[in-house]
Amino acid sequence: MRPHTPSLEEIFDTHIQTLATTLRPQTVNVYRCAASRFLAYLHANFPQVRRLSQLCRDPHLLRWLQTLVKQDPPLSNKTRRDYLLCLRRLLDDFADNGYALQPGLIRRQDFPPLPHVLPRALSPEDDLRLQEEFQRSDDLCAQALLLTRATGLRIGECVDLSVDCLRVVGDQQWALHVPLGKLYTERLVPADENTRMIVARLLRLRALAPPSWLENSPGLLLPRPRSRHALYKSLRRTLAATARRAGCPHHVVCHQLRHTFASEMVRLGISLPALMRLLGHK
C-alpha cells in the first residue's frame, strides 16, 4: 500500500497547528490567512503545483506578489508585509524540516515599505468633547473606551481585563492589573478615583449583559457577544458613532485614545522612562 502523500493544505495546516502552541491566537490567524490566500492563488493559477519542490520564485511567488498588490479593496503595505513574513517563515520551516524547496523564494526586496506615521493625539477640544459624550452614555462599550482614555491601556489589554482587575496596592492606593498582552508582560497601572468609578460602572453594566455573553467571557470585565473580535468591532463602531455625536471633525481610532493619554501625561510633567513603563513599553 502506497504511503499517504500529504497535500499542500495538510502540510501548511499541520505546521501552523504546531506554531499555535507558542504563538498568540491573533498571530496564528495571520499565518492561516496568509497560507489560505497563497494556496487559493496557487490552485486558481497553477493547479499543477502539488508539491513544495515545484515552487519557483518565477512565476509562482512573483505572480503572487502582483496579485497582492492588485487586491480590491487594496491591502495595506502592513498587511502585505505580514503575509510575506508569515509565508517566508513557513517556507523556511519546511526547508528546515527536510522538504525540498528552492532557496530565495521570498527576498528582502519583496517587502513593501511601512509608512512612518507619527502618533496622533486628539486635540484638547476633541478630547474633552469625546470624554463628555462617553460619560453621558450608559453603554458598556462607551465606558470601556473611557477606561482606555483614562489609563492609556491598549484596546486589546482593555478587552482582556478581569472582573477583579482593581487591586489594593497600599493605604488608599489602587491599581489596575493589566494582563499579559502585546509584549508578553503584565503590569499595574495606578487607578485614581475616576478610574475606579469607571470600573464600577462597567461591573454594573456587566451584570445586565445577556447570559450568553457572560457564558462566553467567564471572569472577564467586558462580556463578549460572540468572540473577542466581535467585541473589538463593537468598540470601534461605538467610538465612531460617539465621535460623530461629539462633533469630532476627523475619524477617530481606538489607539488615539492611548496617544491622547500619553500626551496628557507629558504635559503633566511625567518623565519619558516612567511614561514608557506606564504604557507597557519595554
Residues 89 and 152 in one domain: no
Residues 129 and 106 in one domain: no
Residues 132 and 182 in one domain: yes
Q: Which of 250, 237, 246, 263 is nearest to 149 (CA)?
A: 263
Residues 140 and 250 in one domain: yes
Residue 202: predicted pLDDT: 97
Residues 101 and 202 in one domain: no
**Can you give the pTM of this predicted structure?**
0.68
Residues 105 and 197 in one domain: no
- Distance between CA atoms of 50 and 9, rounded to whole angstroms? 10
For 100-151, the pLDDT digits (tens) are 999 999 999 999 998 776 668 999 999 999 999 999 998 999 999 999 999 9
| Residue 115 placed within a domain | no
DSSP annotation of 221 reads: S
Residues 148 and 73 in one domain: no
For residue 257, what is the domain's CATH number? 1.10.443.10
Residues 36 and 98 in one domain: yes
| Domain end marker among 75, 110, 145 | 110
Residue 264: predicted pLDDT: 93
| Residue 154 placed within a domain | yes
Residue 226: predicted pLDDT: 82
Residues 104 and 164 in one domain: no
Residues 155 and 100 in one domain: no
- Could you give the percent of the chain with pLDDT greater than 90? 77
- The SS3 call for residue 120 is coil
Residue 1: predicted pLDDT: 62
Residue 169: predicted pLDDT: 86
Q: Which residues contact 247 (CB under 8 A, 6 or more apart)?
A: 129
Based on the structure, what is the number of domains in the chain?
2
What are the mean pLDDT values of the chain's consecutive 10-residue runs (282 residues total)? Answer: 84 96 90 97 95 96 95 91 96 94 94 79 95 94 97 93 92 88 73 95 95 90 88 94 94 93 92 88 76
Neighbours of 122 (CB within 10 A): 22
| Domain end marker among 110, 139, 168 | 110
Residues 129 and 39 in one domain: no
For residue 92, what is the domain's CATH number? 1.10.150
| Residue 118 placed within a domain | no
- Distance between CA atoms of 215 and 204, rounded to whole angstroms? 17
Which residues span the domain enclosing 16?
Answer: 8-110
Residue 181: predicted pLDDT: 57
Residues 168 and 269 in one domain: yes
| Residue 2 placed within a domain | no
Q: What are 258-262's contacts with CB under 8 Å, separation 24+?
A: 258/148, 258/152, 258/153, 258/154, 258/155, 259/119, 259/120, 259/121, 259/122, 260/121, 260/122, 260/127, 260/149, 261/148, 261/149, 261/150, 261/151, 261/152, 262/119, 262/121, 262/152
| Domain end marker among 45, 77, 110 | 110
| Residue 250 placed within a domain | yes
